[in-house]
Amino acid sequence: MLQPERRGRVDYRPTYEAMQAFTEARGEATPDALWLCEHPPVFTQGLAGQAGHLLAPGDIPVVATNRGGQITYHGPGQVVAYPLIDLRRAGYFVKEYVYRIEEAVIRTLAHFGVTGHRVAGAPGIYVRLDDPFSHAALAGPTHPADPFRGLGKIAALGIKVSRHCTYHGVALNVAMNLEPFSRINPCGYSGLATVDLSTIGVPVTWDEAASVFGQKLCTRLAP
């Protein structure tokens, strides 16, 4: 059974390299893993990343990666989860894998009284800025000129699948310095607001959030 492994605060690049090495070395009998960590400040660029979305990195390093998606930020106060899953053995495909990760985020937010939302075509989880505790579903189609109107992003997702095995993962914002998000177009979207649990009124520690999130991921990612 999948169990969360707490890795603490670790540099991004060696963690990325460790994920690659784990995935390249694993065989059919290698147990799946779930690494939970936080990183010192770093911008990570996905394969689809465009230089124009990196506005003003300043003294924060930028690391190019082989995950999907655009640019995002990792920093202290964010729970970063790296599921290392053999999808063929688990019995589901990439689209369902993404759905299951997003569902784990939604269930984690619900544990703390917050309602998370999906936005079609934009992986990750969002909350209402005016009332993050409202249980009402998002009404009607999104605004064509601004699909994120009234929303803030609280979790970003970017994955890689190699030989049916996953790495990279999902980041849940808990209690961060959000200023670095203003130095990029988060996930490639200009002006997209980014929030964390702290700024929407949920005073939870990193350890508490990591504990809940790790268990929700283990439950949702089970075969």
Of residues 158, 207, 169, 216, the one with CA closest to residue 9 = 207
What sign does the dihedral 139-112-119-54 (CA atoms) show?
Answer: positive
Annotation says 37 is catalytic: no
Question: For residues 168 and 158, what is the distance between their CA atoms, to the nearest angstrom?
Answer: 6
Of residues 75, 89, 103, the one with CA closest to residue 218 = 103
Main-chain phi, psi angles of 22, to 5 degrees:
-60, -45
Main-chain phi, psi angles of 95, to 5 degrees:
-60, -45
Residues forming beta bridges with residue 122, ordered by sequence position? 119
- Catalytic residue numbers read 187
